[in-house]
Amino acid sequence: MATKSIQKKHSVTQNEEPILVISGLHKRYSEGKSNEVHAIRGLDLTVRKGDMMAIMGPSGCGKTTLLNMIGHLDRRSEGNIVIDSIDTATLSDGKMTGFRRDKIGFIFQLFNLFPFLSAVENVETPLLLKGMKAGVAREQAKMVLRELGMGDRLYHLPSELSGGQQQRVAVARALITEPAIILGDEPTGDLDSTTSADVMNLFRRINKLNRQTLVLVTHNRWIAEQCDYIVHMTDGKISRVEQGPFTKEETQ
Amino acid sequence: MGLKSSFMVAKRSLWRRKTKNLSAILAVTLGVTLLVGIQITTNTLENAFLTSLLQNEGEVDFSVVNATTGGYLTAADIANISALVPNAVGIMPELTIDVPIMLGSQFDSSVELAGISTDFPEEFGTFYDWKTGDEIDIGDYLTDNTTILLSSKLAENLGLDKDVALPISVTTEFTNLTVSITVDPTTGNYTATPTYNTERVELTVVAIFDSSRPGIGSKYKMIMALEYVQQWRSLQDTTRETNCISSYLIALKTDHFTTEIDEDYLQEQVDLFEESIPEDTYSVESNRLTFFSVAEIVMTLLSTMLTALGLLVMVTGILLITNVQLMSVEDREFQTGVLRAVGENRRGIVQSILIENVFQGILGGMFGLIGGLAFGQAVALYLVELFGTGQHSVQPVVSQEIVILAVIVGVALGIITGILPALRASRVNIVDALRGIKSSFEEKSGRNLALLGILAVITGVIVLLYNGVLNEAYQPIWVSEGWNTLDEWRTILTGAGLLFSGAGIVLSRFISRTKALNITAIALWAAPVFLFAVAMGEWITDITGLATDILIIGVTEILVGSILIVAVNLPPVMNALRNLLVKMKGLKGVGQIAPALISSHKSRSTLTYAIFAVIMTLNVTVAILVPTNLSSVNQTGEDSRGVDLIVSLNKAEAQIANTSYVEELYKLDSHITDVIAFKTYSTTTDYTKFVAVNDPYSSEFNAQTDLLPIGYGEITSDQIRGNATDTYDSDWRYDFYLSSFPDSITQPLESDVSDEELLDMSKQAWDLFFNSSYTMAAYNVSLDALLSEDRDLSDVDLSGLEGYGGNELEGVEVLQDENGNVIENPVVFTDSFILPIGLQIWIPMNMSEYGVPVYQAFTVAGRLDSNRAGGFPLSSFSVGNILSEGDFDFVDFLGKIYLTEYWANQTNFLAEANGKTSTSRASNQYDCFLIKTTYDIEDQELESIAQTIEEFTNTNDDGYRLLASDNFYVASTTLLYSTVESTLEMTERVVSFLQIYVTFGLVIGAVGMAVISVRNVSERKREIGMMRAIGFPKTQVMISVLLELVVLGVIGLVIGIVNGVVISAGFANMQNATMIIPWSDLGVYLGFITLIALSAGAIPGWFASRIPPAEALRYVG
Ligand SMILES: Nc1ncnc2c1ncn2[C@@H]1O[C@H](COP(=O)(O)OP(=O)(O)OP(=O)(O)O)[C@@H](O)[C@H]1O
Ligand SMILES: [Mg+2]
């Protein structure tokens, strides 16, 4: 029922196909053991193509777990996930990997860059995985990094970058394959407000330009309000959906 | 925080990092296993070797003989002798003579027949029956002068087994000398004419005693009651003297085999006896003492070899341990950062790490001890089987010291290899550690380091100046002569090593570190490479002094240099690899990850491939050794100069009307194309036939030290030159190679002389040999080095048994007589390794009328090549035979001296110079036949020709025995190819033994890889999660894990191949052999290393690829 309300209220993307349909999702950690944790408890969610959605909720309510389920980084306990009309349960692990590579971009809560690769190498890796020529991939990676203001840090290792810079590299890596869905786990968590605004502008631009879908987890109300709507979670369930638009004035 | 908190931290991390500690303990275990194993191997070998030598001595500690060589003692001497050795527990007389023995077609030309009294003192032990094991009272058996007892060993050699029905009869011969005196009727002068007859006697073997059992039985081959041997011996005297004893045997204790006598005590007793004997009466011989020192010399040689090799393998163990320790520290750099941030001081951190290491060391040491015991025992047993040191069972010798050593070394290894990582941890920059920057040392010690560098440079220069400047015995490095001996190279390598290492450190302060290290690494590698690839063979022609220390220095520098070169250039190399992989479909992701991982964990990667670099360098060197030596087999057909088969008779052929042995041989098989007949003679006992190495007519002549029992041979122009007219005639009959030449053959003998040139030089030498007017100057060379008390085996080149190889006559002086004239003598050739070229020797020629030999002086002018085709075939000696059969004939070992026909005819052992003696023969009586056939040298058909010849000669009352009407003829045949093969077999055995050690190194390498891959995977969980998250398929995750290991292994292999080839090139140059690289073996190594890497990485890699990414991402280490 929560899903339906989203569809109705959301005007911008109302006519669009749903790109992500989650129904009856459960996730239990250490299933069957005494220390079992029921992190997701029967969650339904539909996201349409081109949606820019924020997820908010108290720490430990299952936001990261949900993103992991969507990205198929972990097995779910119960429920269905359909992405781009494909029921992911039918995919083999190999197919799923390719699917993830092509359709989903991740920005993690901890930055999760390869510590032994330079910024540009980190960014170009997904392109190489898609089979792109090394030279072309390098050029594209540079381009994206320059766009994110990292032009003078291309060859630095993550440990030589500030938290914000690392996050920008992570964003660049997620964006570079132009995935259908970008999952961001506090993508601006470590950024100062100006840079956060820059990143959010970037997100909004690609969202408009390429109609890429964005699912962002955040604790920051201001960030959340940059999105089309906000899904609130408590105890592994969606408790409330807040419909945008929230913004009064557009930055830039 | 003090020790206590360090303890707490150590204890906690020990417990929490169970698997990680396990790998450290495993590493220490392997290191200690190797160390203990080597120690046990050498100890056991030494013991086995010594036991097998001492077995021949029974309970005898020393023996007393007549001070005059060849003289006898009498029954009366017992009183004097017992007074002189108050500490003796037993004294027994013994008379030995050497006789031939024939049983059917089995023949032994010289067996010691010992006469002992039937009631010998029981302190000397007891004889036991071979079959039943019962005690034998020899008095019951040895009742007459044709009754003997045989040792089980001799019985076996004669083809008997335990089921033989006794008594059996064997044939022997005793010499019978009669002198007829004629009086000249006109002058009234007496002329004494000695006649030597041979008494052929059938002896009856009534019992066979067990000679494998320690005690008196192990000492003798064939015994008869003393009085009867005295009878037989007396036939050799014109006076028929029977009261003769060759020696009194002294036992200072009993049961030598359970507790060996103390060497010092024995020496003391011998010295005491020697001091107290009246002049010119007795002299003392102690084989036991000699064996002690022989065993020591041989074992020192062997154990340095083993230790050298073991040390190099140990290096891999140390590399592994360091690597493991380093990983632990890297692993917890973050924690260390936290610890430091919350206030732990540096000392505390070092302490806690060291406590952990000590614990690992103790455990590793204990496990290593157990492993070492097993390893040592296995290797020792294998060795004994390999070299056949004797049938008696070999007990691994485990001394108490080893146990203590193992634990100490374990702890030491733990601590030493832990110090560097511990220091590194303590120096960790707190901020960097917390941020996850893999920092290197803080550059605080730069200044001290530079100072150290300058010091190294200065020391290096001083060492380099040692040659020629500080030590005038060597030439300085700025003249080319300063580079042509190994001793000079020892200093050059050491100096260069110090200089270049120091220079690198100093330079790194001025130019980039990479550049500086590159220069150091290349220079460090190049210096010994130059020695091996260029200098050895080209400049250095004499390797007789090739000592293990030079090898170790050279190999170490090559290893360090090569490993450093790759380490310094790892980033560009890995970048190249990345660029290559990134172009390949399906490997792009792997290419992005694996090479970057390798160069980002530089020390870990370096230590890993270093293990393989060391092992592979050794392995490749050993692998090349075999085919390089084998190449000389392929050369055999060429080197044998056509001879396929050697036949030797136990004595000179009979004089038969209308035929000869040669003609009979031709009749046996139509494939025989040429039979070259030779005369040889060897003596073990008749000192009147010994060669003198000092002027027998001078007052300084000492019969005890200046006579050598070397054999003789006659070589005639017809045998060698055939119908050839000059050097360039192709019609030579048997143009065997020389390895040393008369000084008038002017070309300097350099190692790069081609075979054709060598052959031409050899032919010129043969021309000189047969030129009766040719004489050669004698030189101031001597046998002292070999024969003096403090002889040193390193003076003799054991590898080729070439003795004083190369250009001996350089720098030695020509001998002059008292008038200042150069002493020139007729020449002889030799295949003996102990006679240096240029040496003046005296050979007993015809007998004077008093039965005393007349000596003729000669110069040793040429040496026959002892390597080609297994050496000159007339002396049956070959390295393979000696080492494989354990006991060998010393006389054969010494080789022979070859005389021309003219001089041979002046002797009464190769001809009948002036009247017959027991050894003389007519000019057409040959005993050794070299046979050429139409077959190839390795053709199987030769075997059947050999068999035909043996059947023809060795069948009673048939064939040759019938023709000669003498059943005492025995022919033994040898295929030339088999002599070469046995030498090769020996090489292969040695190699297979070396391989054990090298293989152990591979095990260490494999364990290293496994440890690393387990750690890599567990440490990189997050990275692996990330890889999966951004779309790496499982296969690529797996390939990344595996590729890293394969690449490291292959780097090690490549270094190993390059180094191995370089080192082998040096050895091949020295031996004048063509180096053959066994590519297929190297392929196997490649496969093997890949396999190690794959299997080490497979399980961790598989687990890694299966971790759910979300879980992996959560991992915080
Ligand atoms: N591997 C795991 N094993 C057991 N429990 C887990 C595991 N991963 C997460 N949990 C639990 O599941 C619940 C949801 O965790 P999740 O990481 O999704 O929270 P979150 O909403 O992202 O919180 P935050 O805002 O703090 O990041 C938490 O109670 C957490 O303790
Ligand atoms: Mg979270």
Residue A198 has pLDDT above 50, yes or no: yes
Residue B600 is nearest to which of A101, A116, A131, comparing CB atoms? A116
Residue B1062 has pLDDT above 50, yes or no: yes
B166 vs B182: CA distance, rounded Å: 48
pLDDT at B503: 86
Tell me whether residues A121 and B596 touch, CB distance under 8 A: yes
Residue B970 has pLDDT above 60, yes or no: yes
Tell me whether residues A97 and B1023 touch, CB distance under 8 A: no
Chain A residues close to B436, C-beta within 8 Å: 115, 159
Shortest-distance atom of ligand 1 to CA A68: 18
Is pTM, for the whole model, over 0.90? Answer: no
> B1028 CA to chain A: closest CA distance, Å?
7
Chain A residues close to B588, C-beta within 8 Å: 128-129, 131-132, 134
Helices (H), A148-192: 163-175
Residue B579 has pLDDT above 70, yes or no: yes
Residue B1026 is nearest to which of A93, A112, A128, comparing CB atoms? A112
Tell me whether residues A102 and B1030 touch, CB distance under 8 A: no
pLDDT at B989: 73
More confident of the two residues B578 and B17: B578
Residue B546 has pLDDT above 70, yes or no: no
Closest among B658, B608, B587, B687 to B1035, alpha carbons compared = B587
B1025 vs B226: CA distance, rounded Å: 92
| Phi, psi of B732, deg, nearest 5 | -65, 145
> What is the Å distance from ligand 1's center to A59 Cα?
8
Structure confidence by residue, pLDDT tens digits, B207-231? 999 988 878 888 898 999 999 999 9
Interface check for A97 against chain B (CB to CB < 8 A): the answer is yes
**How would residue B701 be classed by pLDDT, with cut points 50, 70 and 90?**
confident
Compute the average pLDDT of residues A181-205: 82
pLDDT at B899: 95
Shortest-distance Cα residue to atom 3 of ligand 1? A29
Residue A141 has pLDDT above 90, yes or no: yes
Tell me whether residues B588 and A93 touch, CB distance under 8 A: no
B608 vs B587: CA distance, rounded Å: 24
More confident of the two residues A25 and B295: A25
pLDDT at B878: 42
**How would residue B304 be classed by pLDDT, with cut points 50, 70 and 90?**
low
Helix H or strand E segment including B487: helix B486-507
Structure confidence by residue, pLDDT tens digits, B358-378? 888 888 888 888 888 888 878
Residue B1038's CB is within 10 A of a number of other CB atoms, namely 21
Residue B6 has pLDDT above 90, yes or no: no
With a pLDDT cut of 90, the percent of chain B lying above it is 19
Compute the average pLDDT of residues B145-159: 89
B779 vs B841: CA distance, rounded Å: 11
Structure confidence by residue, pLDDT tens digits, B952-961? 998 888 999 9
Give burial (CB, 10 Å; 0-12/13-18/19+) of B700: exposed
> What is the Å distance from ligand 2's center to A205 Cα?
25
B76 vs B868: CA distance, rounded Å: 54
Of all ligands present, the nearest one to the C-alpha of B1114 is 1
Token pair in block for residue B1092:
């190690």
Residue A13 has pLDDT above 50, yes or no: no
Tell me whether residues A117 and B592 touch, CB distance under 8 A: yes
CA B692 centroid distance within chain: 30
Chain B residues close to A101, C-beta within 8 Å: 1030-1031
DSSP state string for B773-828: T--EE-BS--SHHHHSTT--GGGS-TTTT-SS-S-TTTT-PBPB-TTSPBPEE-EE
pLDDT at B709: 79
Compute the average pLDDT of residues B333-337: 68
Structure confidence by residue, pLDDT tens digits, B450-488? 788 888 888 888 888 877 677 666 777 777 676 767 777
**How would residue B301 be classed by pLDDT, with cut points 50, 70 and 90?**
low
**Best residue of A112, A120, A176 to probe chain B, by most B CBs closer than 10 Å:** A112
Compute the average pLDDT of residues B81-105: 88
More confident of the two residues B1112 and A173: A173
Q: Do residues B898 and B878 touch, judged by C-beta distance below 8 A?
A: no
> What is the Å distance from ligand 1's center to A218 Cα?
15
Chain A residues close to B1110, C-beta within 8 Å: 65, 68, 73-74
Token pair in block for residue B287:
């084989």
Compute the average pLDDT of residues A61-90: 87
**To the nearest whole number, what is the mean pLDDT of chain B?**
80
> A95 CA to chain B: closest CA distance, Å?
9
Residue B804 has pLDDT above 90, yes or no: no
Tell me whether residues B1029 and A116 touch, CB distance under 8 A: no
B1117 vs B1108: CA distance, rounded Å: 16
Peptide bond into B396 cis (omega under 30): no
Which residues have CB under 6 Å of ligand 1? A 29-30, 37, 39, 59-65, 109; B 1111, 1114
Residue B716 has pLDDT above 90, yes or no: yes
Tell me whether residues A115 and B436 touch, CB distance under 8 A: yes
**How would residue B633 be classed by pLDDT, with cut points 50, 70 and 90?**
low
B466 vs B498: CA distance, rounded Å: 14
**How would residue A7 be classed by pLDDT, with cut points 50, 70 and 90?**
very low
Taking CA atoms, B1116 is separated from B267, B425, B691, B1022, in Å, by 71, 19, 85, 8
Lowest mean pLDDT among B399-413, B543-557, B734-748: B543-557
Q: Do residues B1005 and B316 touch, judged by C-beta distance below 8 A?
A: yes
pLDDT at A214: 92
Bridge partner residues of B92 (DSSP): B249
pLDDT at B435: 56
Compute the average pLDDT of residues B409-420: 75
Residue B199's CB is within 10 A of a number of other CB atoms, namely 11
Interface check for B582 against chain A (CB to CB < 8 A): the answer is yes
Residue B536 has pLDDT above 60, yes or no: yes
Helix (H, G, I), strand (E, B) or coil at B185: coil
CB pairs < 8 Å spanning A and B: 91
B679 vs B688: CA distance, rounded Å: 19
A27 vs A38: CA distance, rounded Å: 6
CA B87 centroid distance within chain: 39
Bridge partner residues of B197 (DSSP): B176
Shortest-distance Cα residue to atom 16 of ligand 1? A62
pLDDT at B17: 63
pLDDT at B825: 94
Domains and CATH numbers, chain A: 50-75+91-246 (3.40.50.300)
pLDDT at B48: 73
Closest among B397, B359, B482, B282 to B38, alpha carbons compared = B397
The complex's ipTM works out to 0.82
Largest alpha-carbon pair distance within chain B? 128
| Phi, psi of A38, deg, nearest 5 | -95, 90
Taking CA atoms, B328 is separated from B324, B334, B402, B464, B1007, in Å, by 6, 11, 30, 41, 16
Show Cβ contacts of residue B822 under 8 Å, excluding neighbours closer than 6 positions: B777, B814, B815, B816
3-state SS string over B213-266? CCCHHHCCCEEEEHHHHHHHHHCCCCCCCCCCECEEEEECCCCCCCCCCCHHHH
Compute the average pLDDT of residues B822-844: 89
**Residue whose structure tokens are 């990485």:** B1097
Ranges B93-107, B561-575, B616-630, B722-736, most confident: B561-575
pLDDT at B803: 34
More confident of the two residues A72 and A43: A43
Compute the average pLDDT of residues A37-59: 91
Residue B797 has pLDDT above 60, yes or no: no
**How would residue B811 be classed by pLDDT, with cut points 50, 70 and 90?**
low
Structure confidence by residue, pLDDT tens digits, A93-120? 788 888 888 888 888 766 678 888 999 9
Shortest-distance Cα residue to atom 25 of ligand 1? A59
Lowest mean pLDDT among B79-88, B212-221, B984-993, B1092-1101: B984-993
pLDDT at B785: 45
Structure confidence by residue, pLDDT tens digits, B255-281? 887 787 888 899 999 888 888 888 778
Q: Do residues B776 and B744 touch, judged by C-beta distance below 8 A?
A: yes
Shortest-distance Cα residue to atom 29 of ligand 1? A60
Helix (H, G, I), strand (E, B) or coil at B31: helix
Residue A74 is nearest to which of B591, B1030, B1111, comparing CB atoms? B1111
Interface check for B1110 against chain A (CB to CB < 8 A): the answer is yes
**How would residue B795 be classed by pLDDT, with cut points 50, 70 and 90?**
very low
Of all ligands present, the nearest one to the C-alpha of A218 is 1
More confident of the two residues B161 and B3: B161
Compute the average pLDDT of residues B876-886: 41
Shortest-distance atom of ligand 1 to CA A65: 18
Residue A11 has pLDDT above 60, yes or no: no
Compute the average pLDDT of residues A167-176: 86
Closest among B423, B418, B408, B417 to B354, alpha carbons compared = B418
